[in-house]
Structure 1
Amino acid sequence: MLEPEQAPRQESGVIGWLRHNLFGSIFDSVLTILALLFLIALLPPIFEWLFVNATWSGADRSVCATVAQGGTQPDGWSGACWAYVGDYFQQFMYGTYPMDQRWRPSLVAALFVILLAPLLIPKVPHKGWNALALFVVFPIIAAILLLGGVFGLPFVETAMWGGLMVTLIISFVGIAVSLPFGILLALGRRSKMPVIKMLCVAFIELIRGVPLITVLFMASVMLPLFLPAGWTIDKLLRALVGVSIFASAYMAEVIRGGLQAVPKGQYEGADSLGLSYWQKMRLVVMPQAIKLVIPGIVNTFIGMFKDTSLVSIISMYDLLGIVKKSFSDPTWVSPVTSLTGLVFAGTVFWLFCFGMSRYSGFMERHLDTGHKR
């Protein structure tokens, strides 16, 4: 037998990759060249504005404004004002949370990362205990640390919370609540009991038929009108309820799509084993349905994470709200301040959303055991 020969150079290595992915045909080559020209024309000015001409330190707007605008930069200068971001960074993260107490949200964030990381790694054991600690024990500890008023911790009202902290709190609660409630709503919509099915369909269609800003407005303005005199509900709690209800309705439809994609034979096989309805759903049907709709679930999570910026309608300031609020500070008013703040907020949102998207892809590949070619 002859020894196997090496693949031709044009079919392997860097040359092969370029040929197959970028220059596989005349049309592909034209698109590749146009894309490269577009990037060459676009990226250098952006890089120059973000880093080369940027101002990295300073105490006020003078370092980010030209001489004609009352600053120290030469006329015609244009660059990002990262000095402003550095000055406001603490507020972007914590809002107006007291300076001497900001170790508390930092500790909560550290606990969240410590509990979340093992849950996201498939090979780490004891997932049940880990989930119990993250979704049951952690919220109690976080509420005690953030609110205070007990164990000698000063009380900090939620009106002082803001920035990325509020964005993450609303997102975490929305995700933790919407998934189980969405599953129950999806099961209820497919139920054979007319009353249960009608109630679930009415809830889903009602919530999906109105924008989130309307739900938040109703939770903030209309809900207190139905409470007894003297009763009130915290603004943050209203936002949590509104976002959770809204996300649950969308999650229900995503889960229902997964349930409909599970072959009928799986239902019949579970029935033939004598499993009860809840055993059939928990052990056979639901794991397959959730695996099939991971992209839809993560897409809902990403949309909800970005929609937290709408809580400004009820005077809660998340990351984007704090950034926009800082534009009115005369100390840092300049032509590039607002754009720099929006770029910073957009980058933070993108990092979180991209991270969720990449983890979604990882889980799809990890769980794709029954459909591999």
Structure 2
Amino acid sequence: MTDAIASSFVRQDLVPERRAPVKTTGLVGFIRTRLFNSPTNILLTIVGALLLWFTIIPSVRFLMVDAVWSGQDRTACLAENAGFAVGACWPYIQAKLPQLIYGFYPEAERWRVDLTFVLAAVLLLPLLVPRLPAKGLNAGLFFVAFPVVAFFLLHGGGLAGFGVSWVASLLQLFDDSVVNAGQALVNLSRSSAIGPLLWAVGNIIVLVGSLIGWLIFPVTWLREQLQMSSQPLWFDFLLTTAIVSPILFFLGGGMRTGQRALLGSLASFAAIAIVIKLMGLDRGGLPIVTTNLWGGLLVTLVVSVTGIVTSLPIGIALALGRRSTIPLIRIFSIAFIEFWRGVPLITVLFFATYMLPLFLPGNFTVDGLVRALIGIALFTGAYQAENVRGGLAAIPRGQGEAAAALGLSWWKTTSLIVLPQALRHVIPNLVNSFISLFKDTSLVSIVALFDLLGSLHATFSDPKWSTPSTAFTGFAFAGIIYFIFCFGMSRYSLFVERRLNAHRRS
């Protein structure tokens, strides 16, 4: 009986084999699960393939298959001479490559541009690799020392004075501006309906300028004495060292902890002296190359890198100012941000190039490229301020309260706790602004600055390379350069995001 019952529950034949599971890994699995797993995805896949077919294939044919790779002039890129429908005319790029990189920079001095590019790469690459040591020293060299060295390499010239002379010149310029402003009001009072009021205000401003002149007289007198010496630069340098180093020593803690600040100051001044001597800045320096001869990729990199480096600190300061509890700082930050965000970049460039000189004293001029750099830095800084403010708003209030409970000051709380977390949250927005700025540098061509696209347009006027494909080849080359830089910034930002958010992975 038991055996009969047991046999009724035991299968007498083999179970048929199950169908093999659907493969979900590898290329086949990707195609099955991502591209053809539903009617909608099938339709999108087909449309995407057609778009790629009608864009990528013609581009590859134009840039490589049907391209002309060698030649001396336009005849090599004509269809009747090549025997086929000519695509890209790469001999044109080879012939115009120096102009696209250096603009009209003198050929004999282009080694200075190459050296600047090499120094930038040597100092920047260690900053981008997290595992390499000495990040503080590297950052100081790149953000402080390199801009000064790059200026004298690219522009040339020497130093007529140092710290004391510079301070005296700035104070004298400020005093002259105040006096000129007051005198302008006095002159305006002669033909104005409110003449007495303008006359009184103008004379008060002139009086204030005179008082400032008396206050700064010792500094200006010291500058005149230095200029009358046999070695004005080195006497000024030694005097500046003798003034700055003790100040840093006492600010660093005096006899208790100020030795490190003193040694750092002396080492910095010694390094500056070595650079001045090696570059011959005390003897006139390198030949001057005015910025109206700069162009091509050089101007694009100078404008974009300067804008990126200077706009972020401006944005951070404005974002913190907009959240400040001090009304004056908050109102100024809000007005600054809203003003610059409400003005197109083209207007900013026109104002900085053509109208800003009207507001400067008659004996003071600012280079055209410098004016454009200042306008771009302020314009981009306003946008970066809102990006940073969004990151600050994402930080819970408890972070600051916990820091305050530990006895940290506002500066330490902001710089060590709140700001690092805020910047980590807005890395995509910051890099997006950097990429946009890099591409917007092409707008400087409307104020007579020849960036990469401006130099490219200038090459089109050469009849030696006038062919039907010349313009397309030039724009394709410029597009490749822009893509390389922008794609590189995008991929590096993703790397930084993954590294900073590694502790948050589940």
> Which bracket does the TM-score occupy, shorter chain normalised?
over 0.9
TM-score calculated relative to the size of structure 2: 0.69
1:147 aligns with 2:160: no
Displacement of 1:139: 0.6
Give the one of 46, 62, 74 matched to 1:33. Answer: 46
Contact 1:9-1:15 within 8 A present in 2 as well: no
Give the letter for the 2:38 counterpart: S
Contact 1:262-1:289 within 8 A present in 2 as well: yes
Q: Which has the larger radius of gyration?
A: 2
SS of equivalent to 1:231: coil
1:156 aligns with 2:289: yes
1:10 aligns with 2:18: no
Identify if the C-alpha distance between structure 1 residues 129 and 60 changes in structure 2 by more than 3 Å, giving closer, same or farther.
Answer: same
**Residues 96-155 of structure 1: CA distance to partner in whole angstroms, max 9, x if unpaired?**
111111111111111111111111111112211111110001111111111122425221
Structure 1 counterpart of 2:494: 361
Displacement of 1:8: 5.0
Give the one of 409, 428, 440 matched to 1:276. Answer: 409
Contact 2:456-2:474 within 8 A present in 1 as well: yes
1:78 aligns with 2:83: no
RMSD, matched Cα: 1.6
1:131 aligns with 2:144: no
SS of equivalent to 2:105: coil
Structure 2 counterpart of 1:49: 62
Give the letter for the 1:121 counterpart: V
SS of equivalent to 2:23: helix
Alignment of 1:147-226 (within 5 A): 147-150=155-158, 151=280, 152-226=285-359
Identify if the C-alpha distance between structure 1 residues 24 and 9 changes in structure 2 by more than 3 Å, giving closer, same or farther.
Answer: closer
1:90 aligns with 2:115: no
Structure 2 counterpart of 1:261: 394
The ranges of structure 1 where at least 4 consecutive aligned residues each deviate by more than 3 angstroms after the TM superposition are: none
Contact 2:442-2:453 within 8 A present in 1 as well: yes
Displacement of 1:11: 2.4
Alignment of 1:324-363 (within 5 A): 324-363=457-496
Gaps of 5+ in 2: 1-19, 159-279
Cα distance in 1 for residues equivalent to 2:88 and 2:40 = 38
Identity %: 51
Aligned length: 362
Give the letter for the 2:318 counterpart: L
Displacement of 1:351: 0.7
SS of equivalent to 2:502: coil
Contact 2:104-2:295 within 8 A present in 1 as well: yes
**Residues 349-373 of structure 1: CA distance to partner in whole angstroms, max 9, x if unpaired?**
1110000000011111110135323
Structure 2 counterpart of 1:3: none
TM-score calculated relative to the size of structure 1: 0.93
Contact 2:68-2:86 within 8 A present in 1 as well: no
Cα distance in 1 for residues equivalent to 2:47 and 2:446 = 43
Contact 2:99-2:455 within 8 A present in 1 as well: yes
Gaps of 5+ in 1: 1-6
SS of equivalent to 1:43: helix
